[in-house]
Structure formats: C-alpha cells, structure tokens
C-alpha cells in the first residue's frame, strides 16, 4: 500500500509520507472532479448541442414570419459557406423595442441572449445620437434555406418565388418592421431592393391578396434615385383586415389604429 502512494506521489511531483495519505486522497479527488466536468458532454437538449441544432425545425409561424422579417430589416448571417446561418434582428430604439421583444419570444428556441441596446455614434450632419436594439439567434441548419433564398453574391434580394412565400403574417411583419403611415396610406421602405425585385413583390401583393400597390420614386439629396412601394388608398381597408390579426398592439399605429 505504501508503495502505491509513493508511486502516485512521484507522478504528481509531491512526496507524501504515510501520515498524510488521507490528505493526499482529498488532494487528488478535487482535480479529478474538475477534469470530469471539463470534458462533460453538452446535454442533447441544449441549444448549443449539435443534435438539437440538427433536429430543430422551424414552426409554421416562424417560417411565415421570417419571410416578412427578411423583406424588412432582417439579416441572415453565414460567415463562411460551410457555416450554418443565424438570424439577426436590429431596429430603432425605443420606437420598436416591443416589436424586437416579440420576435425574441417567437424565436426563443433558437436564441441564447437577451436583446441588446446599441448606442450609435453621433450623426455628423445633425449631431443626433441614435440607438437601436438587436437580438440574434444561434447558427442553425434550418435557416440555411432562407439564406439561399434571400442572398445572391452576398447581397440581399427578393426571391423570384416571393409569391409562393408571402402570407398575411409575413406581410404583417414587413409592415411592422419597415413600413410607415403617410397621409392615410402605408409606405414600405423597400428601396434597398432593385426596381425589378420590388415589382415582383407588388405582383405578389396583387395575386395573393388583391392588394394594389405602385412604385414611388425617390431622389436623395445626393441625387440617387430609388423606389419605395406605396399601397393604394383603395386597398388600405382590405390590407388592415388582412394583417391586423398578426400585429402586436404596440405596432398598430402603423395601420393608423
């Protein structure tokens, strides 16, 4: 027995005499526990586990919502072609705080962070300081197909099959995220997309919901021309009935309610 303890002492660079055997026993137990914990597996139900991410499937509500989110200010980040995709949501604070928190709840199964408030640098033209609130998901394989749909050559686009993808819920998220009320009509801030892409969306609005819309030309102070989508005044009542069930109460002001 004494030889056994001397051998252990040799490998730990510490020699313990017989009276300290008990002491050594406690000494060796602590690092063994830490060693075991350090190499313990992530629970299969954890959001960090490969199995959880691989098997997770978006709910129907999440699928319909993400279409509208991406037509608005949503971003799908991949990093490298071999990486899975994560969804990032970033909106003005405090105006759209409630909306971000509603999305935080909707995608809770994919998120491991609390929404974060970001203070931007002062605008050099006005000196005004802007704030935003953002949240993002972990990387999931189930989001890869949406990255494929909405990104071409690393630029966000409107999918060619948007008519097959857009639902009333998705349209509600587009308006909550990137729409505003102007003189009794809704304008969609879609100027980041090309004219042709926006025409695809206008066609989808008409074919899917019977909602008429037109392109509204804009010219910036620097002379750059772009377009936004303008909902026809005659279609406003139909639009409100269609999307109101999917609006959160704090965003109903965008419908003039």
Question: 184 vs 29, 56, 204, 211, CA distance in Å?
Answer: 73, 42, 22, 15
- Can you give the residue ranges of every domain in the chain? 2-38, 43-157, 159-257
On whether the CB atoms of residues 194 and 155 are closer than 8 A, the answer is no
Q: What is the pLDDT along the chain (257 residues), one digit of tens a residue?
A: 444 444 444 444 443 333 333 333 333 323 333 333 333 344 555 778 999 999 999 999 999 999 999 999 999 999 899 999 999 999 999 999 999 999 999 999 999 999 999 998 888 888 889 999 999 999 999 999 999 999 999 999 999 999 999 999 999 999 999 999 999 999 999 999 999 999 999 999 999 999 999 999 988 777 788 999 999 999 999 999 999 999 999 999 999 99
Return the DSSP state at 38: H
User: CA–CA separation, 70 vs 75, rounded Å?
Assistant: 6
| Domain 159-257 part of CATH 3.30.420.40 | no
Q: Would you tell me which CATH number, out of the four given (3.40.50.720, 3.30.870.10, 3.10.28.10, 3.40.50.1100), belongs to the domain 43-157?
A: 3.10.28.10
User: CA–CA separation, 222 vs 51, rounded Å?
Assistant: 51
Burial of 100: CB neighbours in 10 Å, binned 0-12, 13-18, 19+? buried
List the alpha helices (DSSP H) in 107-253: 144-150, 162-165, 168-178, 195-209, 236-243
């Amino acid at each position: 027995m004494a030889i056994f303890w001397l051998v252990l002492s040799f490998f730990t660079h510490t020699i313990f005499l017989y009276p300290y055997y008990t002491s050594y026993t406690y000494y060796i137990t602590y690092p063994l526990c830490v060693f075991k914990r350090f190499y313990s597996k992530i629970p299969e139900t954890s959001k960090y586990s490969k199995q959880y991410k691989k098997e997770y499937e978006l709910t129907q509500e999440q699928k319909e919502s993400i279409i509208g989110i991406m037509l608005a200010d949503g971003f799908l980040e991949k990093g490298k072609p071999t990486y899975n995709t994560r969804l990032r949501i970033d909106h003005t604070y405090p105006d759209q705080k409630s909306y971000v928190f509603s999305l935080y709840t909707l995608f809770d199964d994919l998120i491991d962070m609390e929404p974060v408030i970001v203070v931007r640098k002062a605008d050099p033209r006005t000196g005004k300081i802007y704030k935003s609130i953002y949240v993002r998901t972990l990387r999931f394989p189930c989001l890869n197909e949406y990255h494929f749909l909405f990104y071409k050559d690393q630029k966000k686009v409107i999918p060619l099959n948007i008519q097959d993808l857009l639902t009333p819920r998705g349209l509600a998220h587009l308006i909550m995220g990137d729409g505003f009320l102007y003189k009794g009509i809704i304008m969609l801030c879609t100027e980041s997309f090309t004219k042709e892409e926006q025409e695809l969306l206008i066609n989808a609005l008409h074919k899917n919901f019977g909602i008429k819309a037109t392109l509204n030309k804009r010219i910036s102070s620097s002379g750059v021309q772009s377009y936004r989508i303008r909902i026809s005044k005659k279609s406003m009542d139909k639009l409100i009935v269609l999307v109101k069930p999917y609006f959160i109460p704090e965003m109903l002001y965008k419908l003039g309610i």
